[in-house]
Amino acid sequence: QGEWADDVIYRTLMAMESQQKHNTSVKPDTITYNLVIGKLARAGTKQNAKKIMRLLATMEKNSLSEAIAPDIITYTNVVRVQAKVDPLRAANIASSCLERAMSSDEKMHVDRLGFQVLLLALSRSYQFDHAMMARKAWAWMENSDRAKDDVLDSGLCNLVLIAFSKSNDTKAAGEALLFLSHRISRYKKGEKTTILPTVVGFSAALVSLGKANRIDDALRLLELMKVLSRDGVQNIKPDDGCYNSILSHLARSPAEDTASQALRVVRRMKEDLGQISTASLNSAINTCSQTPQRASPIARFKAVEIAFQIFQLGRESKSCDAVTFGLMIRTCIKLTDDDDTIFKLVEPLFKLCAKAGLVGNLVMREIGPLKKSLITNEQLPKEWTINAKDC
């Protein structure tokens, strides 16, 4: 235990390497290096990460001429420690390792734990190439003899889709949907042993579709999830998180019709689940508030109108909180040009907010110059803020 032990074991291996130049009987092998790398990886410090990379470089440099070729245990420990200090580098190493393993010239045996660690590293990257590597590695493993050894499961399938959801590349949504559609098609054709993702993986696919403003595809995917759930597929029934996965990223889309798309998703959520969660409600209203300033006055007015429709659905579900009112006020002020119209929109909202005890920090910040017109007292009455959790 302790850094001193890490330092001692590392220096011991350095001494063995030095002696090897003068004494051929002293030959550290792959097991020797793996023992040291494994010990250094436990702490996960930047200093140990540097030492591990130095040892990996030595192993890779001498892998052809000496019996110290890095194996899956080596890369598992290297990726684990790099994931703590430099996730992008960990993903690069994982990608390189998988490329070597898939090469016909390599004989690297990838076990379940190693494959999981490598895919996990790829899923934490924001690079599209890493997501594509995750999908390629899945296909390679599925088509290999190892597939029957229970290396693959729904959790690993989720990681492939999560990798695509992290990417902002315009092609990510299409590639994620292609991967998912292929698996669902096989299942529907009677291949019941086909590994499908859980609701976590489907939610990741919905994130990708939300980013790309592909709401038609997202809604179809939600419907397909319900069908599969009724067919007996476990852990696949849509939940609150699925709808919020679409909404939370829809606001980032540069398209001008995102408000109407958000309304479609919210209505579907109400229809499917019977109510709208607070998180999804706020994401939908935030999407309306993000309607571009360059949009036409008609488009901005439409976004405000839609925000009020969504707000009403939220009130029916009793899902409004302090953030909801703050976002509604922001939408009205940001997308309306006329001061009189702004006041006519915001005043009744603020009165409802005060009556519900939801006047929080966001509401106070958003009303800005309207504060003097809306609040006559120097101190806010306690009952106005009693239910606001963002105070």
Task: Report which residue type is found at 50.
Answer: K
Task: Kindly report the pTM of this predicted structure.
Answer: 0.86
Q: Residue 63 has which token pair? A: 């892998």
Residue 147 reports pLDDT greater than 70: no
pLDDT at 81 over 70: yes
Q: For 291-331, how does the pLDDT look when each residue is reduced to its tens digit (9 = 90+)?
A: 988 889 999 999 999 999 999 999 999 999 999 999 999 99
Mean pLDDT of the chain: 91
Q: Which of 184, 258, 241, 238 is nearest to 207 (CA)?
A: 241
User: What is the average pLDDT across 117-140?
Assistant: 96
The pLDDT assigned to 150 comes to: 77
Average pLDDT over residues 346-362: 96
Q: Give, in order, the Cα–Cα distances in Å from 83 to each of 80, 277, 356.
A: 5, 34, 45
Check if the beta carbon of residue 116 is closer than 8 Å to that of residue 98. Answer: no
Which residue do the tokens 């052809």 mark? 64
Least confident stretch, 15-24, 65-74, 273-282, 331-340:
15-24
pLDDT digits (tens, 9 = 90+) for 49-67: 999 999 999 888 887 766 7
How far apart CA 320 and CA 349 sit, in angstroms, is: 12
Among 226, 248, 229, smallest CA distance to 165 is for 248
Virtual torsion, Cα 220, 222, 223, 226, nearest 10 deg: 160
What pLDDT shows up at residue 169? 94
> Looking at 64-73, 133-142, 284-293, which range is the least confident one?
64-73
The DSSP element (H or E) to which 363 belongs, if any, is helix 361-367
Confidence check: pLDDT of 24 > 90: no
